[in-house]
Amino acid sequence: MRPSARFIPALAALLLAALACSLPPASPAPTLSPEDAAASVAATLTAIASGGSPETGITPPAEGGPTLTPTLPPLPPVLRVAYIKNNNLFLWTDGIGSVALTFDGTAQGALLSSDGQVVAFLRESVAFHPEIWAINTDGSNERLLVSAAELSATYVGSAAEAPAGIGIYRMAWRPGSHSLYYSTRPLYEGPGYMGYYDLHSVDADAFVKATLFTRDTGGVPFFSPNGMQIALSTPTSISLVNFDGSNLRPDVLVYGNVITYSEYLYHPSPVWAPDSSALRVAIPPADPLLEPLNPTALWYIPTDGSPAVFTGGILAIPFAWPDTAISPDLARVAYAMPVGIPTDNMRELHIANSDGSGDTIYATGESLQFTGWLPNSTQFVFEVNGSGPLAGAHVGTVGGAYTTLSVDASLMTDISWPDATHFLCRWRSGPNWELRYNLLGGVGSALIDSGNLWEYDFSY
């Protein structure tokens, strides 16, 4: 089937009857004691790293002079999931199970390095004074990377306007390395959420630290896949820079501040080409509530510092920030567009080329939302939160049918894809949440953990 027009209701009902199903009860994954799991993980990683043979997937470092490319040797793919439960850090390893990595109840914001060997996290033992910590995924070498005093020292404003503390706006590992980059934000005792748009780095192994950009001269970092360049995003511009702060290409794209009708300042999320050769980004209209609806602009950004190129526009629903609209291969864009009487809240799901051409309607439903693309750039997740035959969360296929993940979209959130056939999600179970690992279209799912569980990250 090629759904280039609205679904016929009868056909949609048949598809849903054939495909829709809630995730069945999850079977628990093995859970080990902290001591046994840590020993098992350490033994597994030692066995993997020590072989040095072609079967291990490790490539010996090239001889000769220094190189700017990432130097960490690749390891065979092992899915690891770091997550926060009851304000402690846990690690789940496929085939091994879960183990607690911290025990003091102060952990926040788990972030796995690209090789899955180190977890960075925040620890806030004193209110408004967080610190950046790291720990190896075998449970060893827990260490402080950036103290609360160091974060406070990044503040460059007046003492009279100083906030209660300095927090982290965004953290990101440089791909292929153990170098952690972060931008900061003020922490207030009352309302207020904004970024300082600076940029700092710390090496989690060597503890080498650097300030690449001070307040309002940097931006939120988005790394190229090869780890060599960073896109710096702010509420009014995108700049490019090398990972070490050299070769700054300022303001390759400039746009108006997007009104959010809140204290939050929106900054776009550019998408890098898989070969790190270029970027694309979608910029919402300055006033999302302006009628008639203004288009979201699509831009192509070269990496040589030349200005961005406007490629087209899409009429996306207001406040549906288009951070996931562009496919990983930069070839397509997906969005939900309002149709009909506004009070009916009906929306069409559109799939188009990255310049807005070749636009087709994939589905129509009440409170429909586009959630994001799968790694293969031909499948995507969308939700219909209202009533009707399409209610639920689904995986669609460009030019094809869809598979239902749940007939109640409110039961699952934070869906992510280690590959095109397996996904992770948080599943609502009464007052708590379950973290699950699932096979797309398969039977059952593995229960990683459950309880007061809010954040997770994975490496594969």
Here the tokens at position 337 are: 């567009």
Q: Are 252 and 238 in contact, with CB atoms under 8 Å apart?
A: yes
Residue 308: what pLDDT? 97
**Element containing residue 421 per DSSP (H, E):** none
pLDDT at 190 over 60: yes
Question: For 151-154, which contacts have Cβ atoms below 8 Å and span 24 or more sequence positions?
Answer: 151/184, 154/184, 154/196, 154/198, 154/200, 154/211, 154/214, 154/215
pLDDT at 168 over 50: yes
Here the tokens at position 270 are: 């550019």
With H, G, I as helix, E, B as strand and everything else as coil, classify residue 341: coil
Sheet holding 229-233, edge to edge: 220-223, 229-233, 237-242, 249-254
DSSP one-letter code for 326: B
Q: Measuring CA to CA, how many Å separate 239 from each of 168, 218, 221, 271?
A: 21, 8, 10, 13
Here the tokens at position 246 are: 């050299």
Q: What is the pLDDT of residues 299-310, one digit of tens each?
A: 999 999 999 999
Looking up tokens 């748009």, which residue turns up?
A: 197
**Domain limits, the chain:** 1-25+324-460, 31-41+78-218
Q: Between these two residues, 62 and 92, which has the higher pLDDT value?
A: 92
pLDDT band at 73; cut points 50, 70, 90: low
Residue 218: what pLDDT? 97
Residue 87: what pLDDT? 96
Here the tokens at position 62 are: 């090239």
Domain 31-41+78-218: CATH superfamily, name plus number: Dipeptidylpeptidase IV, N-terminal domain (2.140.10.30)
For residues 119 and 335, give the distance between their C-alpha atoms in angstroms, rounded to a whole number: 33
> What percent of the chain has a predicted confidence (pLDDT) above 90?
76
pLDDT band at 16; cut points 50, 70, 90: very low
Residue 25: what pLDDT? 47
Q: What is the mean pLDDT of residues 217-239?
A: 98
Residue 450: what pLDDT? 96
CA nearest 200: which of 255, 293, 132, 100?
Answer: 132
Query: Mean pLDDT for the chain?
Result: 86
pLDDT at 61 over 80: no
CA nearest 350: which of 361, 365, 358?
Answer: 361
Q: What is the mean pLDDT of residues 98-122?
A: 97
Residue 77: what pLDDT? 82
Q: What is the mean pLDDT of residues 166-170?
A: 97
Q: What is the pLDDT of residues 375-399, one digit of tens each?
A: 999 999 999 998 888 999 999 999 9
65 Cβ contact list (under 8 Å, min separation 6) = none
Looking up tokens 């070490």, which residue turns up?
A: 244
Q: Measuring CA to CA, how many Å separate 327 from each of 221, 322, 405?
A: 19, 11, 20
Other CB atoms within 10 Å distance of the CB of residue 216: 12
- Give CA angle at 152 (148, 157), nearest 5°: 170
Question: For 21-24, which contacts have Cβ atoms below 8 Å and span 24 or more sequence positions?
Answer: 21/404, 21/406, 21/407, 22/406, 22/407, 22/408, 22/411, 23/405, 23/406, 23/411, 23/412, 23/427, 23/436, 23/438, 23/445, 24/443, 24/444, 24/445
Q: What is the mean pLDDT of residues 251-263?
A: 94
- Give CA angle at 188 (130, 453), nearest 5°: 50
Here the tokens at position 184 are: 């900061």
pLDDT at 247 over 80: yes
In this structure, the chain runs to a length of 460
Residue 50: what pLDDT? 40
Residue 62: what pLDDT? 37
CA nearest 387: which of 413, 362, 366?
Answer: 366
pLDDT at 58 over 60: no
Residue 76: what pLDDT? 60
pLDDT at 151 over 70: yes
pLDDT at 166 over 60: yes
Q: What is the pLDDT of residues 309-319, one digit of tens each?
A: 999 999 999 88
